Structure 1
């Protein structure tokens, strides 16, 4: 009588690994890096070597697949200080609540008429201020109706992939989802520059991105008051 022997099937780990990689690739979950640099030009096309202007630039990558845009809304501050909004440029993700403290011993107002993010917090003195939640992506221009020279910009993005270039204009994203998406480069004195990019490689290096600043720079209220001897 022949004895029966049981055999355990041995999984084909190589085939399994290829299957997992294929699924990840299809879902855009493979990590990719994206690096580049921003060059700012004035209205005459001359290069602007001003680190403060470069640091005020916003760069963000938005995957085409909405499933890859999971944001992490939280809390942020935009403070009124010496008749200025600080910071002048704030980047937040959709769903974030911003508090607007008033650090000055005078009344201020905070409002915006930007489509999708209109609000008016009314007049209030020195305090922790009021809050507003931003649920619509886009640019929000913020003003004070008491001091017309006060302004700030809130850039609301529907992606977790956003950053500022360094003082030399360099930037680098790591752990981006592979696949197609759009890179946006924004500065308050220029129209945003949009680049459609397909991250089909593990590492992508872009040619220098030139952004022309054609909008006149407005002198901050604090500097004007200092020149007049009021600060």
Structure 2
């Protein structure tokens, strides 16, 4: 424990001394407003001990980190059938590329690129309204983190929807291949909202602990 505390403190101190650190996402206007000087780090052991450094309690939009949680939910719902609709291979292309979808009949390479995460969102929509699917995702993350104060940043979600032209293209293209079972705007509504979950480093470390603990929280 002392070694881990020291390691995190050293990383935070090194980052605090840098004046060139941080670069915010300009492709989503609301994310462009984030203070690039913020830096936090958190670690949680399997027995629940928490180590923090820097701005570890500052909430931020977790964006693609949320794809881990939605994938977990989708696998719990349909198991290996998920892999008929999304692959398990690296893409070798940018996370929002449409190029491979044409060659691979609308099947995304993996669930962590945008196209794959949109398919996962479509899976979570089955039998639900978008509001219900979004609520299920949020409650799952709150459960994992043992913290019901975690929220969805509605302004970030709206900003993503207003500027998500390429994601709309990906969704419509996959729909043309039959790989979305709901209307693209519905799957995208779920996708934009789970990317807009706002958490601190502490909360995120707690929520991710099951990954290092044999699936147990």
Normalising by structure 2, what TM-score? 0.25
Please identify the structure whose Cα radius of gyration is greater: 1
Higher share of residues assigned helix: 2
Higher relative strand content = 1
